[in-house]
């Protein structure tokens, strides 16, 4: 039973983060940004490309993506799309955001390749001791 509670808390936390990002974006810009998942995928795929395929150090790759590329990409998307959508109709905004959600993962596949990723590196090392309290993994 505890396994299901822990799994539910983790999935609920992911949903809470997604809901908070949608809410903050909508409250600050007036646009329901449905493309944030595509943006997150693009940046995660860029991190994987730099770290696993190009051999860049984990922390350096994370810094390049988080401090360098993410703000530039966010500003570029604002300059190209978001600033023009403020005066658009709601349906136009939604169509553009769905298009962004589709276009960014496709752009990542074109830029970084489309091979399957079965084991992605993270920022935390794997040499630590794994704890299994009450058979919860």
Return per-residue pLDDT of the chain as tens, 137 residues.
788 888 899 999 999 988 898 898 888 878 888 888 899 999 999 999 998 889 899 899 999 999 999 999 989 988 998 888 888 888 998 899 999 999 999 999 999 888 777 776 666 666 667 667 777 76
The pLDDT value given to residue 123: 62
Q: Report the candidate in 126, 123, 114 with the shortest Cα–Cα distance to residue 41.
A: 114
CB 33 within 8 A of CB 97: yes
Write down the residue that tokens 């360098």 correspond to: 68
The pTM score is 0.76
CA contacts within 13 A on the Cβ side of 126: 5
CA distances from 97 to 19, 39, 54, 57, 119 (A): 16, 11, 31, 33, 30
């Amino acid at each position: 039973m505890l396994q299901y509670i822990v799994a539910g808390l983790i999935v609920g936390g992911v949903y809470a983060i997604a809901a908070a990002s949608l809410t903050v974006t909508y409250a600050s810009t007036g646009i329901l940004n449905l493309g944030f998942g595509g943006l997150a995928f693009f940046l995660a795929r860029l991190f994987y490309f730099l770290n696993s395929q190009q051999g860049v150090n984990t922390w350096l790759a994370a810094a390049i993506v988080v401090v360098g590329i993410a703000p530039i990409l966010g500003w570029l998307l604002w300059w190209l799309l978001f600033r023009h959508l403020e005066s658009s109709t709601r349906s136009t905004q939604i169509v553009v955001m769905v298009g962004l959600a589709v276009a960014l993962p496709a752009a990542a596949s074109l830029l970084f390749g489309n091979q399957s990723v079965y084991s992605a590196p993270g920022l935390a090392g794997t040499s630590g001791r794994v704890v299994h309290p009450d058979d919860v993994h």
